[in-house]
Structure 1
Amino acid sequence: MVKPPKKILIIDDEAVFLEASKKALIPCGFFCITKQDPSEGIMQLKKDSIDLVLLDIMMDPVDGWDILNHIRSHTNGNMVPVMMSSAKKLHPDELIRYGDSMDGFIIKPFLDSELCETVNEFFSFYETLLKISHAALIQGVPESVRKKWVQLNRQIRAMNQIKEILTPPLIIQEPISPEEFLQQRLFQINQIITQKQSERDLIQFQYPVFRN
């Protein structure tokens, strides 16, 4: 039986990037829904089964972070993977604040092959998590534990990847250099990741099925 294509919702207020994303992803076998109005994107997410959201940060009048929070506040969007995109690299404080809610970050402009590879790699990783979670379900592991394990793995992966491309702000309201600022924030981010890894490892110790 042939699996239906993964359904990707792309939310971006610039039509050129909506078309560029579709152009990159459709030849890779994905089904794309594009929305230039963020509110229409949220409505689409509420009524449709979406496998991944690609969400632009720099939108007007509501930015992508507000939309991300809105998505996570609804049942339909609580677990759906969301990758953020922007022409600007992320500020470390953005990763600290929103790292729990996003599954990746895509820098604009992008090559078609890069976007396709990024999305394929995520789905490969995520489907493996879901298979292990299903095996845990068969063994009677509570749903809350399975969801927590999946979320922790998603967060750890995203934060580890995104921390490599962070940039400090041009103006820093502290008596330190941009390099020192970035190192301080990276230390804080690594502490967050370590805590999440400890939580995940505890679950895996309690439920060995997750170690497969």
Structure 2
Amino acid sequence: MDATILIVDDSSFIVDGLVAILSRKGYTPLSATGGEECLTILKTVVPDLILLDIMMEPMDGWETLEKIRKNPATKDIPVLMFSAKKITPEEAKEHSMNIDDFVSKPVNPLQLLDSIQRIFSRRNEISLERQDAQNKGLDTTIIDEYAMLRKNIEVDRNLLVVLRTSSGLDIGREVSSEDVNAIRNLEDKIRRAEHRLRELKELLGKIPDSSRDS
């Protein structure tokens, strides 16, 4: 694999377990015991992915994520959030644009590794599609929108599963109207994004490849 993954969690027990899992799969794991140490490491190291816990003190995962995204040197690093804490509809709405996936604790190793591979595969595919679109002379704003939609749709689909499961909606549990509205709004958001993505894919297919004409 030869990819560097920075694990950020204030539990040394969890960090040690994740280091062992990632090492066995050929990744190069680094570790930080909190948000401040994570930001310090990022001053000298740019990992291929950050595995970031939400429930940390004094700086929690969301605040750490915000600082990562505000720094031009680190803003594009993919971030996989994980937590034993139930993610709320408000958190999903506020942070879904800035994360690349979410997994729950206790971490299922197969689920974690699948999520990591999915993130890397998606970024590679988008990179190739971006290059192809540029070769066809497509406007860069369209390319950027396409890349953003592809990532956001996958993240939102995963968050939707998490929200439906944690709320108990799928098993007939009584759910608050706020949670139901949040889930329905996320479903609507995904449908709108999928519709726009189909439009962009059609546009991509209609643009002639200028590189073949030269």
For residue 20 of structure 1, the aligned residue among 17, 20, 31 is: 17
For residue 159 of structure 1, the aligned residue among 148, 156, 161 is: 156
Q: Which residue of 1 aligns with 2:86?
A: 89
1:6 and 2:12 matched: no
Larger Rg: 2
Q: Which moved more, 1:85-94 or 1:40-49?
A: 40-49
Whole-angstrom CA distance in 2 between matches of 1:113 and 1:205: 35
TM-score of the superposed pair, with normalisation by structure 1: 0.83
Q: Which residue of 1 aligns with 2:77?
A: 80
2:10 and 2:34 in contact (8 A); partners too: yes
The structure-2 alpha-carbon separation of the partners of 1:131 and 1:186, relative to structure 1 and needing over 3 Å to count, comes to same
Whole-angstrom CA distance in 1 between matches of 2:175 and 2:158: 21
For residue 150 of structure 1, the aligned residue among 123, 147, 151 is: 147
Q: Which residue of 2 aligns with 1:102?
A: 99
Q: Deviations over 1:164-190 (max 9, x none)?
A: 11135xxxxxxxx63433221111112
1:11 and 1:35 in contact (8 A); partners too: yes
TM-score of the superposed pair, with normalisation by structure 2: 0.82
2:34 and 2:59 in contact (8 A); partners too: no
Correspondence list, 1:187-206, <5 A: 187-206=184-203
The structure-2 alpha-carbon separation of the partners of 1:50 and 1:147, relative to structure 1 and needing over 3 Å to count, comes to farther
Count of residue correspondences: 200
Q: Structure 2: state its 5+ residue gaps.
A: 168-173, 208-214
Q: Structure 1: state its 5+ residue gaps.
A: 169-176
The structure-2 alpha-carbon separation of the partners of 1:156 and 1:209, relative to structure 1 and needing over 3 Å to count, comes to farther
1:55 and 1:85 in contact (8 A); partners too: yes
2:53 and 2:81 in contact (8 A); partners too: yes
1:30 and 2:36 matched: no
Q: Which residue of 2 aligns with 1:172?
A: none
Higher relative contact order (CA 8 A, sep 6+): 1
